[in-house]
Amino acid sequence: MIIAYYQILLGVSIFLTFLYIMSWHKHFDVHVTLIFTMVPIAILGNVMTAQAENLSEAILANKITYFGGTFLMLIITLAILNLCQIRVNKWIRILMFVISTAMFLMALTVGDMQWFYKSCDFVIEDGVGRLVNKQYGPFHAAYVTMILALFAISFAAMIYSAIRKKNVPNKIILLMFIPELVAIFVFYGVRQIFTDKIEMLPAAYVLAQIMYLIIIHQVCLYDITDTGIDTMVQTGDKGFISFDFKRRYLGSNETARAIFPELADVQVDKIIPANLSVSDQVNRWLDTFEHDNTQNSFRYHIGDNSYLVTLTYLYGGKRKGGYQFFLTDDTKRQKYVQLLNDFNLRLKDEVAEKTEHIVEMHEKLILGMATMVESRDNSTGGHIRRTSEGVRMLTDEIRKDNTLNISEDFIRNVIKAAPMHDLGKIAVDDVILRKPGRFEPWEFEKMKAHAKEGAHIVHAILEGTDDVEFHEIAENVAHYHHERWDGSGYPEGLKGEEIPLEARIMAIADVYDALVSKRVYKDSMPFDKADSIIMEGMGTQFDPQLERFYVAARPRLEAYYSEQEAVPDGSGLIGEGGMCKTH
């Protein structure tokens, strides 16, 4: 009956080991694998002892039991430390192994020396052999101390993890705790009651196997890295291709071979033949990655499908062993991105169209306001339109060689700001603004205020606009177009390049129009005389850098004004200095 008990436990243990082998995964802890190896060996020793026919056979069987039991306790302790995610220094592990080995070597002295057993007898009762009357030597006490120490380490690790380790599931700790508790209870409790009849430790070992089968199943679920990789491989969402550092093909999964069918014809551990198209593709990616490891993401298109290819190093443990390609079907995302881009382009076009319409309305409003101001002057209009055209002609010449290093946006903004240069006249009293003759000094002082007032009005109109550059240029044109290069202008008396470039350009166009245009109180001035006055003003009234651009634009200016037939408008001639009444 007792022999049958041991034999049944051995059979169950072997069966559980078989189940473990069938469910084995490369990511299983090696210590768990060793547990399923050592338990059958330890139980085999009990079977052999029970079937022994003499003392020598019983001692040999006892040594096998000690081999299994001694290293089994060490392995279980190390397994518990790993499962509790407690790292143990390599040298401490080696020391634990050396001590266990030393204890087993002492157990091997039974029957020859008195270090482990001083003496023992062998009896066969009811057909069951067993060792009796054991007199333990000094190393047996050391052995027991070692077993107790391993139990203590195991319990301490589990208790510590249950309290402090948030990433160790309590279910795993409980499953490890049960066989440990049963084992120590059997070793120091039940075993003492049945010591002369039957060993209960083999039953505790089998219980440990059952618990660890459950544990490995749970650990696989909790190991996010491994389950994530396994899920990607099994579901086919990811393709994998591996190469060593000599670019020899190491293997691929079905998803990768579906993307690159030629891989099915490539011999493992061989370089991909150059005649296969996949060879050029893979080598091109590897060349890029080897040159710059940060360049590890590529796109591969085949038919209507798009794949994201990620290249990393292939690791064997902690060492680099080659290259690993990950291929992800990115077709749906790319189609979505394309759809989103198309929508954004349409939206952008619509916004641009609406914005352009709003800007157009804004510009017309400003132009209408400027025209309304102009209509209060002694004129029949046209000054705004003509000066804007004059600015355009001057900036066209500046653009041709661009020694002033100005941008297209600047030119466009100056032209757009030109109609706003006299908005400040809305603040000038009609009696002064519409006076047909020369101004009195006090009247001229009132008239000069239109420049600063114009800047205030432009600032108020354009405040909050997104086009900050246009806002600044328009305000400068209104504020400083009456400043003079020699510093004798108004309203601030700026000199030289203190005057913004846009205002210097505006000044030439404004004065030229005042000279060659007909007024109700004067005839238009001949082009040659007007040109003489402008040229004389270069370096005093006007920026001398702009002289060559004015000279280049003069033929177009004369042609333009000839076509206009000197239509009367209300800018007025230069009064101060004999050039125009308001300037």
Q: How far is CA 194 from CA 187, 197, 199, 552, 553, in A?
A: 11, 5, 7, 121, 121
Q: How far is CA 269 from CA 242, 248, 266, 314, in A?
A: 10, 5, 9, 15
pLDDT at 207: 87
Residues 252 and 198 in one domain: no
Residues 164 and 259 in one domain: no
Token couple for 529: 């005389």
**Backbone phi, then psi, for 136, in 5-degree steps?**
-80, 140
Residues 317 and 460 in one domain: no
Residues 421 and 460 in one domain: yes
Token couple for 167: 């990433």
Task: Determine, yes or no, domain membership for 156.
Answer: yes
Cα torsion 368, 372, 375, 377: sign: negative
pTM, rounded to two decimals: 0.45
pLDDT at 5: 84
Q: How many domains does the chain have?
A: 3
The runs of H, that is alpha helices, within 376-423 are 383-401, 408-417
Residues 211 and 242 in one domain: no
Say which residues have a Cβ less than 8 Å from residue 447's Cβ, sequence separation at least 6: 428, 432, 433, 439, 582
- Please give the average pLDDT of every successive group of 10 residues along the chain, which has 583 residues: 85 89 74 86 86 87 86 88 86 91 89 86 83 86 89 89 79 81 70 61 84 75 50 64 89 86 86 88 91 89 86 79 86 74 78 66 65 58 81 90 85 88 77 67 79 84 79 89 92 92 92 82 82 92 92 91 61 36 43
Residues 298 and 412 in one domain: no
Whichever domain contains 168, its CATH number is 1.20.1070
Say which residues have a Cβ less than 8 Å from residue 359's Cβ, sequence separation at least 6: none
Task: Determine, yes or no, domain membership for 337.
Answer: no
Of 329, 348, 368, the residue that ends a domain is 329
Of 199, 222, 245, the residue that ends a domain is 222
Task: Determine, yes or no, domain membership for 411.
Answer: yes
pLDDT at 581: 47
pLDDT at 520: 59
Residues 207 and 253 in one domain: no
Of 160, 187, 222, the residue that ends a domain is 222
Task: Determine, yes or no, domain membership for 479.
Answer: yes
Residues 391 and 324 in one domain: no
If phi > 0 it is left, if psi is from -120 to 50 it is alpha, else beta; for residue 425 that is alpha
Task: Determine, yes or no, domain membership for 69.
Answer: yes
- SS3 string, 242-306, reads EEECCCEEEEECHHHHHHCHHHHHCCCCCECCCCCHHHHHHHHHHHHHHHCCCCCEEEEEECCEE
Residues 279 and 217 in one domain: no
Residues 118 and 209 in one domain: yes
Residues 96 and 123 in one domain: yes
Whichever domain contains 562, its CATH number is 1.10.3210.10
**Which range marks the domain in which residue 371 is found?**
359-578
Task: Determine, yes or no, domain membership for 151.
Answer: yes
Residues 212 and 245 in one domain: no
Q: Are 534 and 508 in contact (CB under 8 A)?
A: yes
* DSSP one-letter code for 574: B
pLDDT at 224: 42
Chain centre to alpha carbon of residue 254: 30
Task: Determine, yes or no, domain membership for 562.
Answer: yes
Task: Determine, yes or no, domain membership for 335.
Answer: no
**Backbone phi, then psi, for 241, in 5-degree steps?**
-135, 135
Nearest by Cα to 509 from 374, 423, 397, 392? 392
pLDDT at 233: 54
- Per DSSP bridges, beta strands 117-125 and 319-329 are unpaired
Q: How far is CA 160 from CA 152, 157, 173, in A?
A: 12, 5, 10
Whichever domain contains 299, its CATH number is 3.30.450.20
